[in-house]
Amino acid sequence: MRATGYLFVALAGLACVAWAEDLLFPYMHGLKYSEYDIAIKQGHTAHVCKDEAEWTSMTTADFAKYKAIVIPDCLCNSSLATVDFLDASKSVWSPAVTGNMIIIGTDPSFHAKWYNLTGAIAMMQDAINLVASKNGTGMYFSLSCYYQAASTPVAISALSEIGEFMVRGNLSHPCLNDAHLVAGSSVMTSLKDSIASNWNCSVHEAFTSYPRSGPSGFEALAIAVNASGPGQQEFADGSRGIPYIIARGATPLGCGNNITEPAYKEECDDGDANGTPESLCSSSCRCVNGVLEPGVCRPNPTSTSSRSTQSTPSRYIEATDRLRRLLILVTAPRAA
Ligand SMILES: *[C@@H]1O[C@H](CO)[C@@H](O)[C@H](O)[C@H]1NC(C)=O
Ligand SMILES: *[C@@H]1O[C@H](CO)[C@@H](O)[C@H](O)[C@H]1NC(C)=O
Ligand SMILES: *[C@@H]1O[C@H](CO)[C@@H](O)[C@H](O)[C@H]1NC(C)=O
Ligand SMILES: *[C@@H]1O[C@H](CO)[C@@H](O)[C@H](O)[C@H]1NC(C)=O
Ligand SMILES: *[C@@H]1O[C@H](CO)[C@@H](O)[C@H](O)[C@H]1NC(C)=O
Ligand SMILES: *[C@@H]1O[C@H](CO)[C@@H](O)[C@H](O)[C@H]1NC(C)=O
Ligand SMILES: *[C@@H]1O[C@H](CO)[C@@H](O)[C@H](O)[C@H]1NC(C)=O
């Protein structure tokens, strides 16, 4: 018994070591970018891989031990080779990333390090807080300047196991500088339009397409205002533009008003109930089990407990009611 007890203590000790840090940073030129300093200032703990081999040796379970993986902006590096390690290991780390994600088509570390730009610091603070805030490993990925010269949309190869993400660069000469936030989160309190704008350049890559449906769908978080061409969208406040920051787990403008607005890609909207156990609708206005039709979410799989105290979700009632009406229509005798 005693030996088993010691073994247990030893294993618990190992587990503590493995869980000691919140955030995982890869080895990137051996440097700690602004994301690292900002994360530490925000009270997060972080582990930085000592070399590329350490990253490569990690298993899916190893990645899943962190609150979030942070792929920092390598100071506006335009060589995609910088993230080759991420592409090469995607089948290992992608399944671990089940939490919030943010993909940033600009270079905040560069603007923070060389210009001490308030907006760049705020962007990194908010983004890291968002990805570390959910139960499930999150991911922060700055696209740095890797795709800034792409004249036609290119797929982000490193993310192909999460979904198809297409970006374009060479956006406008000299720069796209008007930024506007079209989604938010209670943990994102620092970034504002004014400080996201006028970075000279604020935007390096913009998204022409990305996964938008289902519980893992992404939202536009910030747009290049009035940018036109492939990728342009209209948002709930009437603004137009192309997203350059997208996120999973943020709440888009217009979501939470208790009106499902398919024009803005909402699958559902249960108002204040979004994201609570009483609703089948997430805080991003996505159906947690998938959508049946706009405003109608697939119900929860039948609970094993028949004594569940959870009230029947309103959208389920609505769905069954619509199904009943549809059946009446289908089975009603046709007027000649
Ligand atoms: C950009 O990244 C490449 C590949 O990782 C590296 O060889 C190069 O030195 C980097 N450039 C700068 C300016 O850091
Ligand atoms: C950066 O800016 C902040 C205010 O926004 C200031 O307090 C700080 O001293 C600046 N740091 C450097 C290195 O200039
Ligand atoms: C977090 O996730 C784990 C594993 O999926 C689960 O066991 C745990 O109950 C969750 N915690 C909360 C607070 O949701
Ligand atoms: C970027 O776009 C401009 C026109 O806006 C074009 O002249 C230039 O060749 C493009 N650059 C690349 C690298 O394709
Ligand atoms: C933007 O950068 C360019 C080149 O570095 C410079 O010539 C220009 O004055 C800058 N504009 C602003 C508004 O800072
Ligand atoms: C974007 O376009 C709208 C409509 O044309 C205009 O009212 C607005 O001022 C423009 N915003 C910027 C930042 O250019
Ligand atoms: C949301 O709308 C439904 C009808 O579609 C209504 O029954 C419900 O009370 C509303 N909830 C809120 C919080 O406004």
Q: Where are the domains of the chain?
A: 3-252, 262-331
Please choose from 223, 226, 232 the residue to mutate so as to test ligand 6's pocket, defined by most ligand atoms within 8 A of CB. 226
The tens place of each residue's pLDDT in the chain, 336 residues long, gives 444 444 444 444 343 345 568 999 999 988 889 999 999 999 999 999 999 999 999 999 999 999 999 999 999 999 999 999 999 999 999 999 999 999 999 999 999 999 999 999 999 999 999 999 987 999 999 999 999 999 999 999 999 999 999 999 988 877 899 999 999 999 999 999 999 999 999 999 999 999 998 888 999 999 999 999 999 999 999 999 999 999 999 999 999 999 999 999 899 999 999 999 999 999 999 999 999 999 999 999 875 543 323 334 444 444 444 444 443 333 344 433
> Nearest bound ligand to CA 27?
1
Burial class (CB in 10 A: 0-12, 13-18, 19+), 211: middle
Give the pLDDT score at 20: 60
Nearest CA residue ID for atom 6, ligand 6: 226
* DSSP at 271: G
Q: Counting ligands in written order, which one lies closest to the CA of residue 202?
A: 5
State whether the beta carbon of 87 lies less than 6 angstroms from ligand 6.
no
- The pLDDT value recorded for residue 79 is 96
pLDDT of residue 303: 54
Q: What is the pLDDT of residue 319?
A: 43
Query: Which ligand minimizes its atom distance to the CA of 234?
Result: 6
Q: From start to end of the chain, where are the E strands? A: 23-25, 46-48, 68-71, 101-104, 138-142, 154-155, 166-168, 179-181, 183-184, 206-209, 219-225, 233-234, 240-248, 251-252, 291-293, 296-297
Does any ligand 2 atom lie closer than 6 A to the CB of residue 116? Answer: yes
272 close to ligand 7 (CB < 6 Angstrom): yes
Determine the 3-state secondary structure of 23 from DSSP: strand
Q: Which ligand has an atom closest to residue 225 CA?
A: 6
The reported pLDDT for the residue numbered 165 is 98
What pLDDT does residue 258 have? 96
* 37 Cα: distance to centroid of ligand 1 (angstroms): 21
pLDDT of residue 171: 87
Distance 200 CA to ligand 5 centre (A): 6
Encoding tokens for residue 262?
Answer: 């398919």
Counting atoms of ligand 7 from 1, which one is nearest the CA of 273?
A: 13
Task: Point out the ligand nearest to the CA of residue 173.
Answer: 4
Residue nearest to atom 2 of ligand 6 (CA): 226
C-beta separation of 131 from 174 below 8 A: no
Residue of 78, 147, 151 with the most ligand 4 atoms within 8 Å of its CB, for mutation: 151
Give yes or no for a contact between 141 and 102, defined as CB atoms under 8 angstroms apart.
Answer: yes
Q: How far is the CA of 75 from the centre of ligand 1 (A)?
A: 9
> 118-132 and 34-41 helices cross at what angle (nearest 10)?
70
Mutate to test the pocket of ligand 7, among 259, 279, 314, 317 (most ligand atoms within 8 A of CB): 314
- Cα angle for residues 111, 217, 47 (degrees, 5° grid): 50
pLDDT of residue 301: 87
The two three-digit tokens of residue 144, written as one number: 């740095």
* Ligand 6, atom 8, residue with closest C-alpha: 226
Question: Quick check: CB of 225 below 6 Å from ligand 6?
Answer: yes
